[in-house]
Amino acid sequence: MSGPDKPKVIGEDWSDERVKSFLDLSPWDQSLNPDHYVLTRAYESMRAEDFERFIGFFLAAGRDLNAEDARGQTLLDRVSQHGRSVDYARALANAGAKRTAAAGR
């Protein structure tokens, strides 16, 4: 991962262990839905192919792919609004993610 002491690396291969490590993340604000938080961090950090692998690990861990944020939106709702995120939206939908009525608000 990039950070102040590590330069950002583009196109780096992510091991399964690195992809799975996102399952251990916890929201800093306890009012946030932990499953939505983890999905969001993975979406923001991973390439589409790594994110698709992550979804498999996420579901195998018994996590909720349709977890909602404080506004009642799923990650698929959010990702569907981003023109460059078609591959992410497809990966979510193929894994069974749903859009909510809140997405239209």
Residue range 30-52, pLDDT digits in tens:
889 999 999 999 999 999 999 99
Using the Cα atoms of residue 9, residue 77, residue 26 and residue 18 in order, give the sign of their dihedral.
negative
pLDDT of residue 3: 47
Tell me the two tokens of residue 21: 């490590």
Checking if the pLDDT of 5 tops 70, the result is: no
12 confidence band (pLDDT: 50, 70, 90): confident
Facing residues of 3 across strands?
A: 6
The CA radius of gyration of the chain, in Å to the nearest whole number, is 14
Is the separation of the CB atoms in 35 and 63 below 8 Å? yes
Reference 9, options 40, 50, 38; nearest CA is 50
Checking if the pLDDT of 24 tops 80, the result is: yes
Tell me the two tokens of residue 71: 């506004």
Residue range 59-79, pLDDT digits in tens:
999 999 999 999 999 999 999
